C-alpha cells in the first residue's frame, strides 16, 4: 500500500512509520518539524520504501506529491502536548481547520481522478470531551469544553476538524475514519514537550523533583504506543463503512500521584514531589469506554503500565547515554 502520514515524524507518526515499513508498505512521511524531531525518523531514511517530505500542511501540497494516488492517509499533523499547542494558539487552530481542509481536499482530488477514495484516518483526541461530566467517556458523550479557555485551540480545533472530516464523508462520500486517542506514551516521545510521563521519567533520571500539577489526584489512563498502533492500524484496515468516531485508549485509570509512584518504582530511583499550580481547564478525570473498539475491531489495550514504563524508561536512558557520549 502507498501510505501518507501527516505529522509523520512526531512521537506517534514516527512509530507508525516504522511499523508500516516493517509491514511492507511504502510510507510517505510529511512533517514541518514544528513540534517534532527529525531524529525520530533518521533511522528510516535508508529504507527505500520511506520518503520524507518537509511540508507545512497549511500550504499547497508540492506538485509531485499532489500527483500521487495514495491508498491510505493517516492525518496526524498537529502540535499535541499542552505547552506545544499553546505556543501559538492561532497556528494550532489553523492546523486543525485549514490543514485538515487541505488534506481532505487532496483526498477528494485523488478520489476524483483515480475513481477510488483513499482511506482517510483522522486522529482526534480525548480532549474533545473536555473536563468530562460523564465517566468513563463513550463516543456518544458530547463533552464539556470551554470554547475560549487556554486549551480551546486544541480541543475546539480537534472538534471542528472532526466536523470537517464527517462533512466530507457525507457530502463527497470520502472513505473516512475518526479515532479519538487517549493519553499515549512510549519510545520516541519528545523529552521537552512537557507531558507528564516524559517529564516524570526525565526528572527521575536527572535526580530532580517530580513536578505534580495541582494535588495530583486528577486521573488519566495511559496506553502504550504499541497498543495504540494496533488499534489505529486495525481501524484503518476495517473495510466496513464506519466513520466513527472511535475511542482508542486503555480503561486502566491512574491518578498523577499513582503515576509518579510507578515511575519511581520502575526506575528504582528516589525523588521528592514538587507541587505546582494546576494549569487552567486541566481535566480532572479521563478514562475511555472502549466497548466500541472491542466490538468493531476485537481490539483492546494489552500492555500493563509497569511494562510500558519499563520500555519507555529504557529508551530515555539510552537517549541520555547517547547525549553523554
Ligand atoms: N502533569 C503533572 N506534571 C507534569 C506534567 C503534567 O502533574 O510535569 C499533569 C497535567 O496537569 C495533567 C496530567 O498530568 O493533569 C496529564 O498531562 P499531559 O500534559 O501529559 O496530558 P493531557 O493534559 O493532555 O492529558
CB-side neighbour CA atoms (13 Å) of 100: 27
- For residue 141, indicate whether it is catalytic: no
pLDDT of residue 319 exceeding 90, the answer is no
- Ramachandran assignment for 217, one of left (phi > 0), alpha (psi -120 to 50 degrees), beta (any other): alpha
pLDDT of residue 201 exceeding 90, the answer is yes
Percentage of the chain exceeding pLDDT 70? 99
Tell me what pLDDT residue 321 has: 80
Q: How far is the CA of 275 from the centre of ligand 1 (A)?
A: 13
Q: Could you tell me if the CB of 282 is within 6 A of ligand 1? A: yes
Taking only the tens place, the pLDDT of each residue in 100-136 is: 999 999 999 999 999 999 999 999 999 999 999 999 9
Q: Per the CATH hierarchy, to which homologous superfamily does domain 2-188+223-250+287-301 belong?
A: NAD(P)-binding Rossmann-like Domain (3.40.50.720)
Q: How far is the CA of 195 from the centre of ligand 1 (A)?
A: 6
Cell, residue 281: 481547564
**Residue 127 and residue 183: Cα distance in Å, rounded?**
10
Q: Is the pTM of this model over 0.85?
A: yes
Pocket test for ligand 1, best of 85, 195, 280, 312 (most atoms within 8 A of CB): 195
Tell me what pLDDT residue 320 has: 77
Local structure of 195: helix, strand or coil: coil
Local structure of 293: helix, strand or coil: helix
Atom number in ligand 1 closest to CA 286: 25
Q: How far is the CA of 73 from the centre of ligand 1 (A)?
A: 29
Taking only the tens place, the pLDDT of each residue in 33-59 is: 999 999 999 999 999 999 999 999 999
Distance of CA 45 to the CA centre of its chain: 22
Percentage of the chain exceeding pLDDT 90? 97
Which residue puts its alpha carbon closest to atom 18 of ligand 1?
Answer: 195
Q: Could you tell me if the CB of 81 is within 6 A of ligand 1? A: yes
The domain locations on the chain are 2-188+223-250+287-301
Q: What is the DSSP string of 142-184?
A: --B--TTSTTHHHHHHHHHHHHHHHHHHHHH--EEEEEEE--E
Q: How far is the CA of 297 from the centre of ligand 1 (A)?
A: 29
Tell me what pLDDT residue 325 has: 61
Q: Could you tell me if the CB of 150 is within 6 A of ligand 1? A: no
Amino acid at each position: 500500500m502507498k501510505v501518507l502520514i501527516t505529522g509523520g515524524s512526531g512521537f506517534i507518526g514516527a512509530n507508525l512509520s516504522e511499523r508500516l515499513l516493517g509491514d511492507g508498505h511504502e510510507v510517505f512521511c510529511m512533517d514541518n518539524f514544528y513540534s517534532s524531531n527529525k531524529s525520530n525518523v533518521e533511522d528510516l531514511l535508508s529504507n527505500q520504501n520511506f520518503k520524507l517530505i518537509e511540508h507545512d500542511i497549511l500550504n499547497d501540497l508540492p506538485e509531485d506529491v499532489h500527483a500521487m494516488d495514495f491508498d491510505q492517509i493517516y492525518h496526524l499533523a498537529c502540535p499535541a502536548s499542552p505547552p506545544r499547542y499553546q505556543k501559538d494558539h492561532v497556528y494550532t487552530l489553523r492546523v486543525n481547520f485549514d490543514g485538515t481542509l487541505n488534506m481532505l481536499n487532496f483526498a477528494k482530488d485523488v478520489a476524483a481522478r483515480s475513481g477510488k477514495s483513499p482511506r482517510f484516518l483522522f486522529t482526534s483526541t480525548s480532549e474533545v470531551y473536555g473536563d468530562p461530566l460523564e465517566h468513563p467517556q463513550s463516543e456518544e458523550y458530547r463533552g464539556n469544553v470551554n470554547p475560549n479557555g487556554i486549551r480551546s485551540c486544541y480541543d475546539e480545533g480537534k472538534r471542528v476538524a472532526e466536523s470537517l472530516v464527517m462533512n466530507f464523508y457525507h457530502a463527497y462520500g470520502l472513505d473516512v475514519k475518526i479515532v479519538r486517542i487517549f493519553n499515549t506514551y512510549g519510545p520516541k516521545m519528545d523529552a521537552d514537550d512537557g507531558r507528564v510521563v516524559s517529564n516524570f521519567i526525565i526528572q527521575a533520571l536527572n535526580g530532580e523533583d517530580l513536578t505534580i500539577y495541582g494535588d495530583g489526584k486528577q486521573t488519566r489512563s495511559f496506553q502504550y504506543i504499541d497498543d495504540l498502533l494496533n488499534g489505529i492500524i486495525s481501524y484503518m484496515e476495517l473495510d466496513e463503512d464506519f466513520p466513527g468516531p472511535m475511542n482508542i485508549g486503555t480503561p486502566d485509570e491512574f491518578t498523577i500521584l499513582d503515576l509518579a509512584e510507578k515511575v519511581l518504582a520502575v526506575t528504582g530511583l528516589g525523588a521528592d514531589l514538587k507541587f505546582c499550580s494546576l494549569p487552567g481547564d486541566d481535566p480532572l478525570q479521563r478514562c475511555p469506554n472502549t466497548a466500541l473498539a472491542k466490538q468493531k475491531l476485537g481490539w483492546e489495550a494489552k500492555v500493563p503500565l509497569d511494562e510500558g514504563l519499563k520500555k519507555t524508561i529504557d529508551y530515555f536512558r539510552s537517549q541520555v547515554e547517547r547525549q553523554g557520549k
